Amino acid sequence: MRSKTLVLGASGFLGSHFKHLVNQPLQQFRFIGESRNDCEVQVDPWDFDSIKEVVDIHSIDSIINCVAVASIEFCEREPRIAFKINSDYPGELAKFCISNGIHLVHVSTDAVLKDGVALKDELSPVAPNSIYGKSKLKGETAVLRASANFSVARVNFYGASPKKNSLFDYFYDSLLNGIPTNGFIDVFFSPLYVLDTVDALMFLAKYKKSGLIHLAGSQSLSKYEFGLEVAKLLGLPSKLIIESVMQKLSDANLRTLNLSINNSSMLQFFQPKYSLEQGINHSIVNRKSASFETD
């Protein structure tokens, strides 16, 4: 019997990219969102009775939770909402999954980790600076306390967002419009292309992996270097990417400057399909696609 996975949070950046699995052969999952055109079934993620109905009808045995408030600025303005969605909801969902014999894969973030120069692994200390990081840490803790059999994936991904508000979109739109834009030389990350992230999450769900896992790319680079790569692949002047320093900004204390995380645990079971260049090129194609523009 094949595993069937339900994905919650389809309107977000990450969740929306699960759609690429719908027409692939042998894939067994249900895509949950807000639009009938995008999804096989619909459900309100806050309505556990409706989730229970979907689970029973479609014989779901795993859930991937992509529901989150990811804006650092919004979380600082609305901490109550941030903790409700990023902390309380994962805890309630974990209880639901335990009661119904469902495996849970909860998506967290590298922003929960303590800042520092070292490459961070799953045993590295946590000490988030922002409400976003603190709320996500509380959420992943609630999930793992509920059951050691559940999986929490700290992700670090890039790509084109349907809402055009990702780091890639920021550079893409600025470059195409000839607008000089900041690229931070003191903020480092190890991004994994969003479709590789989706596939890795599906692997965690399918094989009922447990515990904490970092999903990230093998290459650590600065946000400035990432911007230069986008400019190069667009064939546009790199001088439009301005070397900038995050630590000079007023809200720098909310940011984790070193977001580079070790992906050695991930590589034991999942090998990414896309290099950084391939992922950025694929993102460029997505932005130029009429179908993507209307998502």
Local structure of residue 114 (DSSP, 8 states): P
Taken in order 182, 251, 257, 138, is the CA torsion positive or negative?
negative
Render pLDDT for 188-215 as a digit per residue (tens, 0 to 9).
Answer: 999 999 999 999 999 999 999 999 999 9
Q: Enter the pTM of the model.
A: 0.91
SS3 182: strand
Q: What is the mean pLDDT of residues 206-226?
A: 96
Q: What is the mean pLDDT of residues 152-163?
A: 95
| Contact yes or no for 81/123 (Cβ under 8 A) | no
Task: Give residue 11's Cα distance to chain centre.
Answer: 12
Burial of 147 (0-12, 13-18, 19+ CB in 10 A): middle
Q: What is the mean pLDDT of residues 209-236?
A: 96
Render pLDDT for 37-93 as a digit per residue (tens, 0 to 9).
Answer: 444 566 778 899 989 998 998 889 999 999 999 999 999 999 999 999 999 999 999
pLDDT level of residue 33 (50, 70, 90 thresholds): very low
- Note the pLDDT of residue 284: 97
Give the amino acid at 193: Y
Give the CA angle between residues 86, 90, 96 to the nearest 5°: 160
Within 10 Å of residue 130's Cβ, how many Cβ atoms? Answer: 20
Q: What is the mean pLDDT of residues 214-229?
A: 96
CATH classification for the domain delimited by 5-293, as one of 3.30.1740.10, 3.40.50.300, 3.30.70.1400, 3.40.50.720: 3.40.50.720
Render pLDDT for 97-146 as a digit per residue (tens, 0 to 9).
Answer: 999 999 999 999 999 999 887 789 999 999 999 999 999 999 999 999 99
Report domain extents, the chain. Answer: 5-293
Closest alpha carbon to 221 in 264, 158, 172: 158
Give the amino acid at 210: S
- Please state, in angstroms and rounded to a whole number, the distance separating the CA atoms of residues 213 and 151: 7
User: Which residues, including other chains, have CB under 8 Å from residue 233's CB and lie 6 or more apart?
Assistant: 277, 280, 281, 284
User: Which residues, including other chains, have CB under 8 Å from residue 157's CB and lie 6 or more apart?
Assistant: 14, 191, 192, 193, 194, 196, 197, 215
Q: What is the mean pLDDT of residues 143-151?
A: 97
Give the amino acid at 16: S
- Please state, in angstroms and rounded to a whole number, the distance separating the CA atoms of residues 284 and 272: 19
Local structure of residue 84 (DSSP, 8 states): I
- Please state, in angstroms and rounded to a whole number, the distance separating the CA atoms of residues 290 and 295: 9
| Contact yes or no for 217/191 (Cβ under 8 A) | yes
User: Which residues, including other chains, have CB under 8 Å from residue 280's CB and lie 6 or more apart?
Assistant: 158, 168, 229, 230, 233
Local structure of residue 88 (DSSP, 8 states): I
Q: Are strands 188-189 and 221-222 parallel, antiparallel or unpaired?
A: antiparallel
Report helix angle 167-176 to 276-288, nearest 10. 60
Task: Give residue 140's Cα distance to chain centre.
Answer: 14
- Please state, in angstroms and rounded to a whole number, the distance separating the CA atoms of residues 48 and 58: 15
